[in-house]
Amino acid sequence: MTQSFTIGSLVELDHIARDFARALRNPLRVYLSGHIGAGKTALTASVLGALGYPGVVKSPTFTFIEIYPLPVFAVYHLDLYRLKQPEELEVLGVRDYLEGEGICFVEWPERGGKELPPADIDVTINAADDIRIIDMSSQSNQGEEVLKRLGRLMHEGRL
């Protein structure tokens, strides 16, 4: 199933992130696509904030991965932009994170090619002028469950 949101500000992003944080299930792989500056890191940071992480979320462009060991589960934030070839994932030792428990947000998943396990939810962000269109599409039963819950929460919020 799919869910689409059109947002005009980081405040609106926080609203979606709050419901997404309530809807998510462990484990979950969320792959984020969209051009440079589309808002992939901002979405991840917003969800981490909603999950109670109090610190600053740094873009893992140069470290490839940042790990957030939250009380209930870990969140792994990966950015594969600088990956030269998919096989490098092995060297980075991130496979256990991608395949185990926890919530993974992966920016530039296309750089990981077939070395990446399939996503539960694919997110595509399109930025145009001052708005962002966020399209979420489930790729597994787990992902579908999360998007259903997200849809219900967003609907309740509007009543």
Ligand X SMILES: Nc1ncnc2c1ncn2[C@@H]1O[C@H](COP(=O)(O)OP(=O)(O)OP(=O)(O)O)[C@@H](O)[C@H]1O
Which sign, positive or negative, has the C-alpha torsion 88, 92, 94, 96?
positive
**40 or 111: CB nearest Mg ion:** 40
Q: Which of 19, 33, 40, 51 is close enough to bind ligand X by CB under 6 A?
A: 40
> H or E stretch including 41?
helix 40-50
Residues 66-125 that bind ligand X (CB under 6 A): 79, 107
Q: Judged by CB under 6 A, does residue 56 bind ligand X?
A: no
3 near 89, Cβ under 8 Å? no
**25 or 82: CB nearest Mg ion:** 82
> H or E stretch including 67?
strand 65-69
Q: Judged by CB under 6 A, does residue 4 bind ligand X?
A: no
Give least dist CB 155 to Mg ion, A. 29
69 near 95, Cβ under 8 Å? no
Q: Judged by CB under 5 A, does residue 41 bind Mg ion?
A: yes
Q: Contact residues for Mg ion (CB under 5 A)?
A: 40-41, 59, 107
